[in-house]
Amino acid sequence: MPPTAVSPSPLDLLLEYLKLSRGFDFTGYKRSSLERRIAKRIEAVGIEDYVAYRDYLEVHPEEFAHLFNTILINVTSFFRDALVWEHVAEHTIPKLLTAVGGDGPIRVWCAGCSSGEEAYTVAMLLAETLGEREYLERVKIYATDIDDEALNEARAAVYSDKAVETIPPALLEKYFERSERSHAFRKDLRRAVIFGRNDLVQDAPISRIDLLTCRNTLMYFNAETQARILRRLNFALNEWGTLLLGKSEMLITHSELFALEDVKRRLFVRVPRTKTPERSSPPPATTPDPPVSAVVRDLAFDSAPAAQVVVGATGIIVAINRQARSLFGLAHADLGRPLRDIELSYRPVDLRSNLELATLERRTIVLGGIEHTVPSGDRRTFDVHITPILDEDKAVGATVAFADVTLEQHLRAELETSNAELENAYEELQSIVEELETTNEELQSTNEELETTNEELQSTNEELETTNEELQSTNEELETINDEIRKRTRELDEVNRFLETILTTMETAVVVVDGQLIVQMWNGQAEELFGLRLAEVQDQALLGLDIGLPVGDLTEPLREVLRGAVEREVVELDATNRRGRVFRSRVTVLPLEAGPESAYGAVLLIEAAHATAEGSSRRVADASG
């Protein structure tokens, strides 16, 4: 009975959608970190789950940028971990210059460069060692990341006063141009730093590198993806190349790729790749074979029993033999077409990604057990061999051969059935062997437990460092928000002082109430007129105040203004001031922030009635006295 297929989780479906729609493959990232970062965005936009969030992304494409900025934590700084860079300047760079020798080019790759601080740190150290002229002639620094927004910031090379605090003052003065509230890395030296997008998981590595920095980047990937990236980093480095990692990253299980140089500073040297020994030339034949014509070669290729397709370095189909045309419905007209334009590129198996891998790693890729229904309707099984065609170590194309193993599979099934009868006897014999190996396994088990514990500690350390960077990123966001709040608070204080000055200097009594007729503002003239201070009336109901003004008669005018029925109401009332003098007052009721149907509150202007424009203030003063 075939095993039941496991349905992909909602998170897996979301990651697949991101890969197909935007080309970002996050499946190699650590699951726990991905879940935390995506949950942060889901909470921010008020979505319930991954399925709803995918629908939200389809409707709001601008959300992709916010999500990627949340997942790709851009935490970096100049001279981060100063002791590490001190060692690089005093030991690593001099060793590199000795290995390169003479006036040879110096190539540096800063992988996962974020906003560029690390790349410019390396640039300053090399310029200090070589001198500016030699630096410009010999140095190329390739800085890569998958975050386009961070790369644009890095290309601008403009940093705030806070960002450059970790740069030694002498280097800051020498390599940066000061402007208002910012510092820009010198344009003439910036030409040696080249920024570009590169996905460490999918894209080809930059080659012939002398110094490779990849700090606090590997820790976001799972173990399988880390191994794949490290193989590419090994390929990128020269024989004398040095790899610099972050403080929480250790290559415990990758000793075949990198050897430890300095454990405290996380410096590693490349382990040379094993090379296939060159075959000795065969002795010359006594009688040389006659030359084989191109026609004979073509006929031999066309009549080969295995289906074969030859693809050029640019992805163009160069040759198709008869078996391939018969089995996959191809024709002579397909010659010269890009492989990606025909169905064979993805059915019965994905050829494009495997062609890239075979070309990159210079080895044959074998894909077994590939099933395909041929035009006759038969179900066949193939082993697919993808072999790069090399010309002096340069890939000029690749051959794709389909070996029909259908009969072999039937025979294998029959053989497995026959072997089933022998398995019981074999298991009995195996149990004896296992007993003899028990002692050895116990010793190995102890060693494996120690290695497992070491790897668990390393994984925990990476997880803690990831969480630390997430917290640092969140802290930077909070600092930005706090700066904005302080700015708005200062602006609000200025507005309040401005309004307070206006209200204080007015000689008309001013009372401000909210929609429930609760007193919010009571200026100095109102205090003088009725003898009550702001602290005594604030947050009190206006209609409940005993101030010598018949406030009950203001109920209807206030109601009309608050519901937006009128723009203003003017009422004349007999009032008594704080000294007991009766005077005729004019009360003007105005809406506060009037809307289409109602007002937020109301403003009451109280002055002596029948006052002229020039004498109204004087009459109110007389009334209060």
Tens of pLDDT, residue by residue over 599-609, are 678 898 998 87
**Spatial distance between the Cα atoms of 598 and 620, rounded to a whole number of angstroms:** 31
Please count the helices (runs of H) and the strands (runs of E) in the chain: 20, 20
Q: Please indicate, yes or no, if residue 412 is contained in any of the structural domains.
A: no
Q: List, for residues 86-144, the tens digit of each pLDDT value.
A: 999 999 999 999 999 888 899 999 999 999 999 999 999 999 999 999 999 999 999 99
Q: Please indicate, yes or no, if residue 171 is contained in any of the structural domains.
A: yes
Q: List, for residues 520-567, the tens digit of each pLDDT value.
A: 888 888 888 888 888 888 899 988 888 888 988 888 888 888 888 888
156 and 200 housed in the same domain: yes
Tokens 């509230």 belong to: 181
C-alpha 196: how far from its chain's center?
15
390 and 531 housed in the same domain: no
The domain that contains 176 carries what CATH number? Answer: 3.40.50.150
320 and 171 housed in the same domain: no
Q: Which two tokens stand for residue 357?
A: 């891998």
Return the half-sphere exposure (C-beta side, CA atoms, 13 A cut-off) of residue 268.
28
**Spatial distance between the Cα atoms of 442 and 107, rounded to a whole number of angstroms:** 48
- Structurally, the chain folds into a number of domains equal to 5
Return the number of other C-beta atoms located less than 10 Å from residue 553's C-beta. 13
Domain boundary among 443, 468, 499: 499
Contact criterion met (CB below 8 Å) for 75 and 472? yes
Could you please report the per-residue DSSP string of 529-594? HHS--HHHHTTSBGGG--SSS-GGGGHHHHHHHHTTS-S-EEEEEEEE-TTS-EEEEEEEEEEEEE
563 and 594 housed in the same domain: yes
**Spatial distance between the Cα atoms of 28 and 106, rounded to a whole number of angstroms:** 32
Supply the Cα-derived Rg of the chain in whole angstroms: 40
Return the half-sphere exposure (C-beta side, CA atoms, 13 A cut-off) of residue 158.
7
The domain that contains 346 carries what CATH number? Answer: 3.30.450.20
Element (DSSP H or E) covering residue 524? helix 524-530
Q: Which two tokens stand for residue 285?
A: 């034949």
Among 514, 516, 521, which residue's Cα sits nearest to residue 496? 521
Give residue 230's pLDDT.
Answer: 92
494 and 520 housed in the same domain: no
Tokens 């044959």 belong to: 364
Domain boundary among 466, 499, 532: 499
Return the half-sphere exposure (C-beta side, CA atoms, 13 A cut-off) of residue 277.
3
CA distances from 161 to 177, 217, 249 (A): 12, 26, 30
Torsion of CA 139, 145, 147, 149, to 10 degrees: -10
Helix axes 406-505, 31-45, angle to 10 degrees: 40
95 and 173 housed in the same domain: yes
Q: Please indicate, yes or no, if residue 420 is contained in any of the structural domains.
A: no
Q: Which amino acid is at 261?
A: E
Would you say how long the chain is, in residues? Answer: 625
| Sheet hosting strand 599-608, strand order edge to edge | 519-522, 509-514, 599-608, 582-594, 569-576
Q: Which residues contact 598 (CB under 8 A, 6 or more apart)?
A: 515, 562, 563, 564
**Spatial distance between the Cα atoms of 158 and 161, rounded to a whole number of angstroms:** 10
239 and 333 housed in the same domain: no
Q: Please indicate, yes or no, if residue 55 is contained in any of the structural domains.
A: yes
18 exposure class (CB count in 10 Å sphere: 0-12, 13-18, 19+)? buried
**Spatial distance between the Cα atoms of 298 and 312, rounded to a whole number of angstroms:** 17
Q: Please indicate, yes or no, if residue 329 is contained in any of the structural domains.
A: yes
3-state secondary structure 223-234: HHHHHHHHHHHH
C-alpha 93: how far from its chain's center?
30
Give residue 289's pLDDT.
Answer: 45
Q: Which residues contact 255 (CB under 8 A, 6 or more apart)?
A: 271
Contact criterion met (CB below 8 Å) for 275 and 361? no
230 and 157 housed in the same domain: yes
**Spatial distance between the Cα atoms of 135 and 601, rounded to a whole number of angstroms:** 69
| pTM (whole model) above 0.75 | no
Could you please report the per-residue DSSP string of 186-240? -HHHHTTEEEEE--TTTSPPPPSEEEEEETT-GGGB-HHHHHHHHHHHHHHEEEE
Q: Which two tokens stand for residue 537?
A: 């009336």
104 and 231 housed in the same domain: yes
Among 156, 161, 154, which residue's Cα sits nearest to residue 122? 154
Q: Please indicate, yes or no, if residue 276 is contained in any of the structural domains.
A: no
**Spatial distance between the Cα atoms of 15 and 25, rounded to a whole number of angstroms:** 7
Give residue 615's pLDDT.
Answer: 37
SS3 308: strand
**Spatial distance between the Cα atoms of 347 and 328, rounded to a whole number of angstroms:** 9
Give residue 494's pLDDT.
Answer: 83
489 and 545 housed in the same domain: no
Q: Please indicate, yes or no, if residue 277 is contained in any of the structural domains.
A: no
**Spatial distance between the Cα atoms of 463 and 36, rounded to a whole number of angstroms:** 12
384 and 512 housed in the same domain: no
Q: Please indicate, yes or no, if residue 427 is contained in any of the structural domains.
A: no
86 and 218 housed in the same domain: yes
Give residue 168's pLDDT.
Answer: 95
CA 20, 26, 28, 31 torsion: positive or negative? negative
State which residues form the domain around 566: 506-624
Domain boundary among 235, 270, 305: 270
Residues with pLDDT less than 70, the chain: 1-6, 252, 273-294, 424-425, 437-439, 441-442, 444-449, 451-456, 459, 504-505, 594-599, 610-625
